[in-house]
Chains A and B, each alone.
Chain A
């Protein structure tokens, strides 16, 4: 009985070490989307995604910069470093904070389309 107990503890230890190592290696994706909702459907449709705007991702003291392409920027970080992430688009003075769930965090910035005149002033 005593021997079985030690075996059980040993197996548990190995399993937790394996899962811990897996957790360290797993990367978290932070997916950022930014778009002008020209058709008002609240979704990023084709041709609505912003281009070339810099996006800043801050995790703790570490900051990464990506550039939006077709309205998207994707960051990848080691799991161990990600608790809460802050995403900013400095040009638009927009920012948001979120916590990743199941290895993914999604941040969406939706801008309403401005009302344009029918001719130039």
Chain B
């Protein structure tokens, strides 16, 4: 795949993701991609981006189109800009097959070199290019976040990951995802060096992140996503950000589904900043309560109608469980309050509320 098609497919993916259907929206999106590219976010697949350390002089040289030495050969990066890409493509179509092949190999070499330079010259975990494998097309389609959320990188981890299906694999904070190692307590001390999840903390999940690795500050009401090993993404909403004494280990426990993120550093400071977030049930797609009722009619059965006081579409025996569709407003008609319900076998209709009994706890 050439880099032109990589960009095209990535642009297509971003258009799908943000539902940019009008020319104006598409133009906005192209501008956004250019801005991201200037910040070093380069598409490397349909739904993947790599981070290039743009501050590095070698990478700057390549991006600026300056000649770069590759042994005896000299390679010059293509000038940037959409217009130049279009005109270059026009020229390519006029070439013979052999010349096109040669040109294609040359282009691939240049971009291979960009990747190589990014990795080789800058070294170090914090500046190495990062690819976000968690941003797949399917997840992007299901994300409720607006497209303005920039793609971030992944902060990798070389400690052992957790292994059970319910154990956290990574945490996404803003645009950055931290792969989590499995932390444990030794002689009463937990001493993470990278992002870690404290083993066996399942109800309140306890995660420690090196403060220096946090690019953007966490704010109240932010949604932090923990991805567990079974592949489920669990959203938590930030409800408290506070400074606590390091001996205040009560912040590590709760009986409610929640998350605590401890921002640690190498200093021996007596306090730490902690972020507490609660499970966002709605965001997770689990309704907090069902609205199930039993049919309970003096006649032993009740009519299911296609509208309040409308035609009978079914007869429900006493004891049948129906789910009230709470998103549809009840209707007062003929002296009765009518509720829209659905049975366990999928039939839908209207029923008079006085013929229903709340399931007794």
Assuming A61-B345, A65-B286, A121-B192, is B319 touching A114 (CB within 8 A)?
Answer: no
The answer to whether the Cβ of B262 comes within 8 Å of any Cβ in the partner chain is yes
Considering only residues 202-227 of chain B, those with a C-beta below 8 Å from chain A are 202-203, 206, 208
Are A62 and B344 in contact (CB-based, < 8 A)?
Answer: yes
The answer to whether the Cβ of B252 comes within 8 Å of any Cβ in the partner chain is yes
Closest to B249 in A: A116
* Nearest CB on A from B299, distance (A): 15
Which residue, B184, B185, B292, has most C-beta atoms of chain A within 10 A?
A: B292
Q: What's the Cα separation between A52 and B247 when bound, in Å?
A: 27
Q: What's the Cα separation between A71 and B255 when bound, in Å?
A: 9
Assuming A90-B286, A121-B262, is B200 touching A114 (CB within 8 A)?
Answer: yes
The answer to whether the Cβ of B87 comes within 8 Å of any Cβ in the partner chain is no
Closest to B292 in A: A64
Which A residues touch B185, using CB under 8 A? Answer: 115-117
The answer to whether the Cβ of A118 comes within 8 Å of any Cβ in the partner chain is yes
Which A residues touch B255, using CB under 8 A? Answer: 36, 47-51, 71
Q: What's the Cα separation between A51 and B305 when bound, in Å?
A: 39
The answer to whether the Cβ of B281 comes within 8 Å of any Cβ in the partner chain is yes
Give the number of residue pairs across the A-B interface with Cβ within 8 Å: 132
The answer to whether the Cβ of A107 comes within 8 Å of any Cβ in the partner chain is no
Q: What's the Cα separation between A118 and B264 when bound, in Å?
A: 15
The answer to whether the Cβ of B294 comes within 8 Å of any Cβ in the partner chain is yes
Specify which of A56, A65, A75, A116 is in contact with B252 (CB 8 Å cutoff): A116
Specify which of A67, A77, A115, A116 is in contact with B321 (CB 8 Å cutoff): A77
Which B residues touch A115, using CB under 8 A? Answer: 184-185, 199-200
Are A78 and B294 in contact (CB-based, < 8 A)?
Answer: yes
Closest to A76 in B: B359
Q: What's the Cα separation between A54 and B288 when bound, in Å?
A: 6
Which B residues touch A60, using CB under 8 A? Answer: 344
Interface size on B, residues (CB 8 A): 56
Which B residues touch A118, using CB under 8 A? Answer: 188-189, 247, 249
Closest to A117 in B: B190
- Kindly supply a per-residue 1/0 record for chain B positions 239-267, scoring 1 wherever the CB is within 8 Å of any chain A CB and 0 otherwise: 00000101111011101110000101000
Closest to B272 in A: A120
Are A121 and B202 in contact (CB-based, < 8 A)?
Answer: no
Are A93 and B228 in contact (CB-based, < 8 A)?
Answer: yes
Between-chain CB contacts (< 8 Å), 10 pairs: A25-B319, A36-B255, A54-B286, A64-B292, A75-B359, A76-B360, A91-B284, A94-B166, A117-B198, A118-B249
Assuming A61-B344, A78-B320, is B289 touching A67 (CB within 8 A)?
Answer: yes
Closest to A57 in B: B290
The answer to whether the Cβ of A85 comes within 8 Å of any Cβ in the partner chain is no
**From DSSP, what is the main secondary structure of chain A's interface residues?**
mixed
Closest to B253 in A: A116
Which A residues touch B279, using CB under 8 A? Answer: 52-53, 91
Assuming A116-B249, A120-B264, A121-B262, is B344 touching A52 (CB within 8 A)?
Answer: no
Which A residues touch B284, using CB under 8 A? Answer: 90-91
The answer to whether the Cβ of A105 comes within 8 Å of any Cβ in the partner chain is no
* Nearest CB on A from B290, distance (A): 4
Specify which of B189, B247, B321, B359 is in contact with A62 (CB 8 Å cutoff): B321
* Nearest CB on A from B13, distance (A): 29
Q: What's the Cα separation between A50 and B188 when bound, in Å?
A: 25
Known contacts A49-B255, A54-B286, A78-B319; 5 additional CB pairs below 8 A are A24-B318, A25-B318, A51-B255, A66-B290, A115-B185
* Nearest CB on A from B294, distance (A): 7
Are A24 and B319 in contact (CB-based, < 8 A)?
Answer: yes
Assuming A65-B286, A76-B359, A114-B200, is B189 touching A119 (CB within 8 A)?
Answer: yes
The answer to whether the Cβ of B201 comes within 8 Å of any Cβ in the partner chain is yes
Which A residues touch B251, using CB under 8 A? Answer: 120
Assuming A74-B361, A111-B202, is B290 touching A117 (CB within 8 A)?
Answer: no
Q: What's the Cα separation between A80 and B295 when bound, in Å?
A: 14
Q: What's the Cα separation between A111 and B203 when bound, in Å?
A: 9
